[in-house]
Amino acid sequence: MAGYYHRLETGLLDPEPVDASVWDALSEVLRANARALAAAFQPPPPTAAPAHRRADEGFALATRRGAVAADQPDLGPDEVDRLFTGSA
């Protein structure tokens, strides 16, 4: 859920399909109209950043962890996915 919220607050997630219950909860916590705040936010344009490849044990470990995660079965969308993306 934190990933969806981060993408929503930084403008990387389309706010249109976000469930009304999410907006209601955010509005209650923020004491403001969260949907209006999201609509007013304009994310900064993307900028180029240098990329580095590390050839050490940390890189190899991260690569192995990614491979293990990729081997896990796809369970499909859950309730959090539905709330933030509208997918069933």
Count the domains in the chain. 1
Residue 11 lies in a domain: yes
CB 86 within 8 A of CB 19: yes
3-state secondary structure of 63: helix
Residue 29 lies in a domain: yes
Residue 56 lies in a domain: no
Give 12-36 pLDDT, tens digit per residue: 888 889 999 999 999 999 999 998 8
Residue 22 lies in a domain: yes
Domain of residue 1, residue span: 1-43
Residue 73 lies in a domain: no
pLDDT at position 86 is: 87
Kindly state the tokens that stand for 25.
């909860």
Give 43-84 pLDDT, tens digit per residue: 677 787 777 666 665 555 555 555 555 566 777 788 988 898
d(CA 29, CA 83): 17
pTM of the model: 0.58
Amino acid at the residue 28: E
pLDDT at position 46 is: 77
Residue 14 lies in a domain: yes
Residue 5 lies in a domain: yes
Residue 31 lies in a domain: yes
- CA 53 → CA 20, 47, 61, distances in Å? 42, 19, 13
